[in-house]
Structure 1
Amino acid sequence: MSKASKQFTILCVDDEPRITSALKALFRREYNVLIANSGQEALEILADNHVNVLVSDQRMPGMLGSELLTEVSRAYPQTIRILLTGFMDRQAIVDSINEGEVYRFINKPWDNFEIKEVVAEAATASELPAGTVFLGDGTVVEGGEDDAFISATRGKAIVLIEQNQDVRNQIRRFCTQREIMVYSTQNVEQAITAATTRDNVGVVIVELTDQQETLHTINLLKQARPELVTITLTHEYDANTAVDLINQGQVFKYLASPICSEELYAAIDKAFRRHLYLKDNSASWRRYKVDKPQGVIAAGLQSIFGRLLGAG
């Protein structure tokens, strides 16, 4: 038993006692393990205990796992959140990204090696600062428009890969008001060039067209510039794609068309707050770690990155 890992507490939540018992048996040698059989019970435990990692099932009566993640994200942002799911509920998966800021999705039945590896990474990352919002004096708070933040985003830039003219106009209107630059690109190589060679770029907004190419691009950008924050736009939500966008790309928001301006502007605002925080707190980058992609497309994109970074 590792004494070092016993400092971490994980909370396993599932409405089936046999599942929580199995998870407790899997982790008890290395962690302090708490269990709950409902979302409400989990919140009560969280109110009285410091929890490093939450591992929750999705389909539970009373409160879905995605709803629990949202509550925990707001009340206990330091706790890293992992969602177990055996049924790919599209909206729940998307809500876990956009509202619950999930760290990883793990399919049920899980692979013991995979889940132990993910929880170990999450536990270590949970000790890093979790701030995602910016104020001029360095204070981390939720929401709100403030002059210090708006001033800090002036001269910053967005890299945009989006073919829809209406969406491009929506983004440009917001950026014009905030004095944020927009580098509108026509292809992946142009986007990679802009994002890796311009220090003022903080946010990447990418249309999900070719899924694998887009995913690998996001992944490699995150590796090259960990402080960049990505918003992905899609014509239609897909649960499997959403899982990959988190597990391999750590996207910040996943938005589907038609996108109302208020929703888009709020996402961009929050994305810049996250970027500004990460830019000044490099220790927190590991909270948003991605694994290196594999395959022919990944290799091709990696060569583009290599050329650009080598030239820089």
Structure 2
Amino acid sequence: MLNSPRKYTVLFVDDEPRITSALKAIFRREYAVLTANSGAQALQIMDSNTVDVLVSDQRMPNMLGHQLLAKASKRHPQTMRILLTGFMDKQAIVDSINDGEVYRFINKPWKNDAMREVIAEAALASEVDVASTPSETENSSALTSPTSADTVRRIRDQALLMMEQKQEIRHQIRRFCSDHDIMIYGTQSIQQAVAAATSRDAIGVAVIELSDNTAAALQTISLLKQARPELITIALTEDYDAATAVDLINHGQVFKYLAKPLDIGRFQSAIENAFTRHRFLKTQPVAKQRYRVQKPTGRLASGLQELVNKFLTTAH
């Protein structure tokens, strides 16, 4: 008799037992379901069980959902992390991107079919081994150590795409790239950004501002990620917005969401870690499953997708 395939393990976390009970009832046939009613309890469960997918509520006492995701990211990086939220706490959502590496945001009340689809994708992606991925702590320490020349050698021969309207910020980024021997491609339009990223394989990191036309910028980020899954995106903004942050992850899988004016130390750390992630994805193509995005819709997406396809055809 053949062995039945292993069920993926999903841990649902919510401070309301009725919600975790409901989620367990919905998913117990498809998954081995574990539940917790606090962040501390969830971490205890994860320390003693292999958890493939962690689905946590945001608003919980003592430890918020994004704080749990950040801790889980460091202690159990293999686990895919999803944040459930019915209250758009701006800073919490931003932190879950920058510190928790959330895979998806799901709004409450959730739709069963939509959640089922996201969890299924996350479960498959959890099989990708991330043990060889250097930690951000290691990368960041290299930036401030006396041997920072090693950082330059690791980044050299990489290229960065920049789409930024503010002259002061452009100059900051150009100075940084010059100091670290990074080739930079400055662009001023969506079409230029897509053209550069899809025709120059050396470009590993894109720094995209979220200007007045945020929707267009989001579509650009999403399409770039679809065309170049190994491309790592850092989004810059004058003012954080919760709904935009959700779209940046669900449709663009951005690596970092940073505020302007730039904190140059934080920016340096983000760039170094972004190039490290890019190199990992180039050498481990299967790992791209962990950073899949939802496809954009609408006329803008269709028009830009045609442009992407055009340049991909030309490049090959």
Partner of 2:203: 201
Residues 131/240 of structure 1: CA separation in 2 closer, same or farther (3 Å cut): farther
TM-score (norm 2): 0.92
Partner of 1:144: 141
Pairing 1:80–2:74 present? no
C-alpha distance in 1 between matches for 2:127 and 2:270: 26
C-alpha distance in 2 between matches for 1:148 and 1:256: 27
- Consecutive unaligned residues of structure 1, counting only runs of 5 or more, are none
TM-score (norm 1): 0.94
Identity of aligned residues (%): 56
C-alpha distance in 2 between matches for 1:149 and 1:3: 47
Quote the offset at 1:17 in angstroms: 0.2
C-alpha distance in 1 between matches for 2:125 and 2:88: 26
Task: Give 1:3-18 correspondences, 5 Å limit.
Answer: 3-4=4-5, 6=7, 8-18=8-18
Pairing 1:267–2:270 present? yes
Contact 2:140 2:269 in 1 (8 A): no
Quote the offset at 1:134 in angstroms: 4.7
Pairing 1:104–2:107 present? no
C-alpha distance in 1 between matches for 2:97 and 2:267: 15
C-alpha distance in 2 between matches for 1:228 and 1:184: 16
Quote the offset at 1:149 in angstroms: 5.3
Quote the offset at 1:21 in angstroms: 0.4
Contact 1:132 1:273 in 2 (8 A): no
Task: Give 1:232-271 correspondences, 5 Å limit.
Answer: 232-271=235-274
C-alpha distance in 2 between matches for 1:144 and 1:200: 25
Pairing 1:296–2:299 present? yes
Partner of 2:167: 165
Task: Give 1:46-61 correspondences, 5 Å limit.
Answer: 46-61=46-61
Aligned length: 306
Aligned residue identity for 2:210: L
C-alpha distance in 2 between matches for 1:227 and 1:131: 18
Q: Which moved more, 1:237-246 or 1:125-134?
A: 125-134
- Consecutive unaligned residues of structure 2, counting only runs of 5 or more, are 143-147
Structure 2 residue matching 1:307: 3-state secondary structure: helix
Aligned residue identity for 1:59: R
Q: Deviations over 1:47-75 (max 9, x none)?
A: 11111000000000000000000101111
**Coordinate RMSD, CA, aligned:** 1.8
Contact 2:71 2:100 in 1 (8 A): yes
C-alpha distance in 1 between matches for 2:59 and 2:191: 41
Residues 147/26 of structure 1: CA separation in 2 closer, same or farther (3 Å cut): farther
Quote the offset at 1:130 in angstroms: 2.5
Contact 2:69 2:96 in 1 (8 A): yes
Partner of 2:183: 181
